[in-house]
């Protein structure tokens, strides 16, 4: 699964695709983030804590991808965590990342005030900042590319043990601070049309890959757009699909007499789909002939819904 994370991180290091992800999932397709206004920031964050005995402990975390985005007069720190498997502690993990980033910002502001020696009021001395000081918003997306549906917690409250007296639970939940993660499950994306870069085709292929018929139909109907994907996107989609044989041929293509292109790889996938579809159809007809269901044989040639039902019924 570490390899899947690698492909996702490689894909989203491109600023245009990173902006596209946030525009599609956070801003519902509105083109708010601009690639040219994104700048990479440090992936490392950490703080040093001193306990009562004077011993120091360092807490450090490393993000997968992090960018600083300019939104007019304000900024936002947009971060992404790539997941190939379900992480049952993800809300706490994201909470820790975000808290460390906010703490670092606060510490930097405090250091700047100490240099300037411009804190004049008692509350300012106590906190090390003024009431006018503001933090850059941190917005983390969890991009999940696993084959199984996400069955992990999506918020801190999902992880809490709330087995106490029932009458106290509503009040407890109302008072407890919650922390919700922004989860993007690639295989369950609802609005692919919100994506304006090659992520639409990459995520589309992954979304439909769990159903072979839908998968081959998708790549056939999006053949030209898929063939125009750049090298990083092509490599990522083949790796994430588990098409390792075609991936290796793609990686080995440069310098060869007969270059194996993405269009050839896609054409091969479509051909495989047609061949597999023909074999499934032949198997189904053979079964129906044995059961003397000539009426069904006549119907399945023009009824796709019926074909699917029978494929499922006969486990084809």
DSSP-derived 3-state class of residue 21:
helix
Q: Can you tell me the distance from the alpha carbon of 259 to that of 3, in angstroms, rounded to the nearest whole number?
A: 25
User: pLDDT tens, 98-137?
Assistant: 998 999 899 999 999 999 888 888 888 888 899 999 999 9
The whole model's pTM is what? 0.75
Q: Can you tell me the distance from the alpha carbon of 270 to that of 184, in angstroms, rounded to the nearest whole number?
A: 28
Cα separation of the two ends of the chain:
29
User: pLDDT tens, 254-293?
Assistant: 544 445 555 666 666 666 655 555 556 666 767 777 777 7
| Count of CB atoms situated within 10 Å of the CB of 114 | 11
Interhelix angle 2-12/231-241, nearest 10 degrees: 160
How many residues in the chain?
A: 316
Query: Across the chain, how many H-helices and E-strands are there?
Result: 13, 7
**Phi then psi dihedrals of residue 277, to 5 deg:** -65, -40
Kindly list the strands in the beta sheet with 138-144, ordered across the sheet, starting from the edge strand earlier in the chain.
38-40, 65-71, 74-83, 138-144, 182-185
Q: Can you tell me the distance from the alpha carbon of 89 to that of 1, in angstroms, rounded to the nearest whole number?
A: 17
Q: What is the pLDDT of residue 51?
A: 66
Bridge partners of residue 180, in order along the sequence: 155
DSSP-derived 3-state class of residue 124:
helix
Beta-sheet strands, E only, within the chain: 38-40, 44-50, 56-62, 65-71, 74-83, 138-144, 182-185
The answer to whether 278 and 284 have CB atoms below 8 angstroms apart is no
DSSP-derived 3-state class of residue 100:
helix
Query: For each of the chain's 316 residues, which pLDDT tens digit applies?
Result: 557 778 888 889 999 999 999 999 999 999 999 999 998 887 777 666 666 777 777 777 788 899 998 887 678 889 999 998 899 999 999 999 999 899 989 999 999 999 988 888 888 888 889 999 999 999 999 999 888 899 999 999 999 988 877 888 888 888 999 999 999 999 999 999 999 999 999 999 889 887 777 887 888 788 888 878 887 888 788 778 776 555 545 445 454 444 555 566 666 666 665 555 555 666 676 777 777 776 776 677 667 777 777 767 777 6
Structure-block tokens of residue 183: 């989860």
* Cα Rg of the chain, angstroms: 26
Structure-block tokens of residue 134: 């503001």
Give the DSSP letter string of 216-274. HHHHHHTHHHHHT--HHHHHHHHHHHT-HHHHHHHHH-TT-SS---HHHHHHHHHHHHH
Q: Can you tell me the distance from the alpha carbon of 198 to that of 277, in angstroms, rounded to the nearest whole number?
A: 28
């Amino acid at each position: 699964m570490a390899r899947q994370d690698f492909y996702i991180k490689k894909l989203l290091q491109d600023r245009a695709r990173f902006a596209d992800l946030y525009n599609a999932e956070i801003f519902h397709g509105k083109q708010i983030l601009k690639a040219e206004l994104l700048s990479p920031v440090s992936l490392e964050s950490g703080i040093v804590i001193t306990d009562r005995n004077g011993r120091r402990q360092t807490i450090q975390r490393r993000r997968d991808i992090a960018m600083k985005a300019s939104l007019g007069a304000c900024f936002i720190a947009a971060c992404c965590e790539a997941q190939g498997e379900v992480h049952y502690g993800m809300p706490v993990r994201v909470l820790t990342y975000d808290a460390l980033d906010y703490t670092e910002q606060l510490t930097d502001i405090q250091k700047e005030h100490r240099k300037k020696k411009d804190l004049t009021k008692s509350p300012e001395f106590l906190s090390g900042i003024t009431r006018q000081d503001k933090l850059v918003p941190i917005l983390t997306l969890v991009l999940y590319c696993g084959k199984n549906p996400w069955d992990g917690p999506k918020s801190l409250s999902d992880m809490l043990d709330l087995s106490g007296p029932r009458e106290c639970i509503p009040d407890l939940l109302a008072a407890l601070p919650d922390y919700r993660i922004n989860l993007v499950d690639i295989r369950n994306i609802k609005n692919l049309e919100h994506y304006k870069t090659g992520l639409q085709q990459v995520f589309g292929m992954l979304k439909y890959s769990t159903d072979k018929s839908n998968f081959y139909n998708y790549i056939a109907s999006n053949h030209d757009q898929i063939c125009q994907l750049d090298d990083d996107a092509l490599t990522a989609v083949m790796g994430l699909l588990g098409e390792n044989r075609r991936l290796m041929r793609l990686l080995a293509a440069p310098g060869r007499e007969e270059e194996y292109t993405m269009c050839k790889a896609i054409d091969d996938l479509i051909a495989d789909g047609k061949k597999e579809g023909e074999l499934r159809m032949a198997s189904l007809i053979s079964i129906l002939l044995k059961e003397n269901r000539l009426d069904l044989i006549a119907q399945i040639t023009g009824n796709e819904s019926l074909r699917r039902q029978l494929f499922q019924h006969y486990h084809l």
